[in-house]
């Protein structure tokens, strides 16, 4: 029988307790899946960077591999990694019930991830570079996507049922995780709703519409859980938020108010219509500022840890906030269809990724693994974040000179020196970021594959 500890935020430190037994085992399993997804994504990232770097792209004609690699790279590094780590948070903060939902969701998600990874090697893998969840028009890939979606659906339902705080305004991190699951539920519902309502047509537009509403909604889940990770890291470092649990809980509730618009848009407007598409774009533009107070609290927490000794989680916190803030600023500088768009996108998503990396370092020993220690763990967030910073600035610079997105090789039409300098920065930063991602994987594998530490949360 699973042993348990009392759930809730510990008054002295602000740290949430983790239920021993089933939740800990599930969190371990999901962390393994997330790390495996990053390994696959990182290998594909090497092809992506080389296919767009001036000089190298002419020596190694990788354009044909670019689009197929881009599809699976994005899906593994964003869809699978983000959802897997969201499940780590939900399991770590949730209760011990509904084991069949927990393991059923994990097995399906793992199977879907495995099939997705090998799908490009099967015939007919035609890439479609739509936003949010790009696809390969190939039966095995679609099967992998459905299986992974089914696994995440079970996981989100379990999160909705097991992460309820015992006091609504007294456990902000657990409430933040629950509200992230609400956003995830609405996103999955939007995906299913769009699939059932939109007639299939040829071309990118079908998949663009299919994932448009759910993709915009899913950004709220990622942002909410990023803030949960920031506050958890700060509390672990001995600097819990200066705001009271009640105030933090209210701010989390305020942050999800825009999500009320999601079912309204689907009920009132035909899926795929111009107003439907425009309103979801406005939801991102007008809705994310509701998270402003939480972001400011994250900045305050970051200021609070500035004088603490160097630690891997602290490094990740610094890098995460920097990249997320840069991505937010670039979002308001988008004009036209150019590489400023992926600059904004990379900044924001890498900010989330670094927050999850930092929380992974915090959770490793608490889940019974070894600790993230040594110089590699300490510098990994700065190497990864620094590389991504150069990558993002290179894209933003090139976008200002008209370089188009989602093209590679000669199609980029790099005719001026500023364009070549910007894309050269992009290539250099991307390669540095790949090294930083590899460092994260190595740190985690060392901690997770070694002799397990005793879990301080467990009781016999």
136 assigned to some structural domain: yes
Q: What is the pLDDT of residue 391?
A: 80
End-to-end CA distance of the chain: 10
Average pLDDT, the chain: 81
Using pLDDT thresholds of 50, 70 and 90, give the confidence band for residue 416. low
Structural domain that includes position 72: 18-163
- Last residue of a domain, which of 122, 140, 163? 163
147 assigned to some structural domain: yes
pLDDT in tens, 226-274: 999 999 998 888 888 878 889 999 999 999 999 999 999 999 998 888 8
Contact 400, 423 (CB under 8 A): no
The total domain count for the chain is 2
Q: Which residues of 378-416 are buried (b: 16+ CB within 10 A; e: fewer)?
A: bbbbbbbbbbbbbbbbbbbbbbbbebebbbbbeebebee
What average pLDDT does this structure show over 38-48? 75
What average pLDDT does this structure show over 87-94? 93
Instruction: Identify the residue with better confidence: 125 or 6.
Output: 125
pLDDT in tens, 305-342: 877 888 899 999 999 998 888 877 776 666 555 556 66
> Which residue reads 């893998």 in tokens?
125
Q: What angle do CA 286, 301, 388 make, to 5 degrees?
A: 65
Task: Report which of 9, 6, 5 is spatially closest to residue 20, judged by C-alpha positions.
Answer: 5
Max Cα-Cα span within the chain: 68
Q: What angle do CA 23, 25, 31 make, to 5 degrees?
A: 100
255 assigned to some structural domain: no
Measure the CA dihedral 326/328/331/332, to 10°: -100
Instruction: Give the CATH number for residue 448.
Output: 1.20.120
Predicted TM-score of the model (pTM): 0.85
Choice among 77-91, 229-243, 408-422 with the minimum mean pLDDT: 408-422
- Last residue of a domain, which of 163, 180, 207? 163
Other CB atoms within 10 A of residue 56 CB: 14
184 assigned to some structural domain: no
Q: How many CA atoms lie within 13 A of 3 on its CB side?
A: 8
Give Cα 322 to chain centroid, integer Å.
16
Contact 276, 262 (CB under 8 A): no
361 assigned to some structural domain: yes
Q: What angle do CA 145, 156, 5 make, to 5 degrees?
A: 135
Using pLDDT thresholds of 50, 70 and 90, give the confidence band for residue 7. very low
259 assigned to some structural domain: no
d(CA 84, CA 29): 9
Instruction: Identify the residue with better confidence: 65 or 374.
Output: 374
Residue 455 has pLDDT above 50, yes or no: no
222 assigned to some structural domain: no
Residue 170 has pLDDT above 80, yes or no: no
- Last residue of a domain, which of 115, 136, 163? 163
299 assigned to some structural domain: no
Q: What angle do CA 108, 114, 120 make, to 5 degrees?
A: 130
């Amino acid at each position: 029988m699973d042993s348990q500890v009392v759930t809730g935020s510990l008054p002295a430190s602000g740290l949430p307790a983790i239920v021993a037994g089933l939740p800990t085992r599930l969190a371990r399993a999901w962390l393994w899946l997330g790390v495996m997804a990053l390994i696959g994504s990182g290998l594909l990232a090497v092809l992506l960077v080389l296919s767009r770097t001036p000089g190298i792209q002419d020596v190694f004609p990788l354009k044909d591999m670019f689009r197929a690699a881009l599809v699976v790279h994005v899906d593994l590094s964003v869809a699978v990694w983000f959802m897997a780590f969201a499940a780590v948070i939900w399991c770590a903060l949730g209760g011990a019930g509904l084991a069949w939902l927990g393991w059923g969701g994990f097995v399906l998600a793992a199977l879907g991830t495995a099939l997705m990874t090998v799908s490009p090697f099967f015939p007919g893998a035609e890439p479609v570079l739509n936003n949010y969840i790009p696809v390969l028009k190939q039966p095995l890939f679609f099967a992998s996507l459905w299986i992974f979606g089914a696994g995440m659906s079970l996981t989100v339902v379990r999160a909705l049922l097991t992460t309820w705080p015992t006091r609504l305004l007294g456990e902000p991190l657990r409430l933040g995780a629950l509200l992230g699951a609400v956003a995830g539920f609405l996103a999955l519902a939007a995906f299913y709703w769009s699939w059932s309502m939109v007639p299939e047509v040829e071309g990118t537009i079908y998949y663009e519409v299919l994932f448009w509403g759910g993709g915009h909604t899913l950004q709220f889940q990622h942002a909410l859980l990023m803030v949960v990770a920031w506050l958890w890291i700060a509390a672990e470092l001995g600097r819990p938020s200066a705001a009271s649990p009640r105030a933090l809980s209210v701010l989390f509730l305020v942050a999800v108010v825009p999500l009320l618009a999601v079912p309204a848009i689907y009920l009132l407007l035909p899926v795929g219509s111009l107003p439907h598409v425009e309103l979801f774009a406005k939801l991102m533009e007008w809705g994310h500022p509701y998270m402003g107070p939480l972001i400011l609290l994250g900045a305050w927490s970051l200021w609070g840890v500035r004088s603490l000794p160097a630690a891997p989680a602290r490094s990740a916190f610094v890098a995460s906030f920097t990249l997320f803030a840069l991505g937010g600023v670039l979002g308001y500088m988008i004009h036209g269809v150019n590489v400023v768009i992926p600059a904004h996108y990379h900044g924001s998503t890498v900010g989330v990724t670094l927050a999850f990396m930092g929380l992974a370092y915090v959770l490793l020993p608490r889940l019974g693994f070894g600790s993230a220690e040594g110089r590699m763990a300490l510098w990994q967030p700065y190497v990864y974040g620094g590389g991504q910073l150069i990558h993002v600035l290179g894209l933003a610079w090139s976008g200002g000179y008209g370089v188009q997105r989602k093209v590679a090789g000669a199609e980029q039409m790099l005719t001026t020196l500023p364009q070549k300098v910007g894309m050269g920065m992009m290539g250099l930063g991307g390669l540095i970021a790949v090294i930083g991602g590899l460092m994260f994987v190595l740190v985690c594998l060392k901690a997770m594959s070694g002799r397990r530490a005793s879990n301080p949360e467990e009781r016999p």
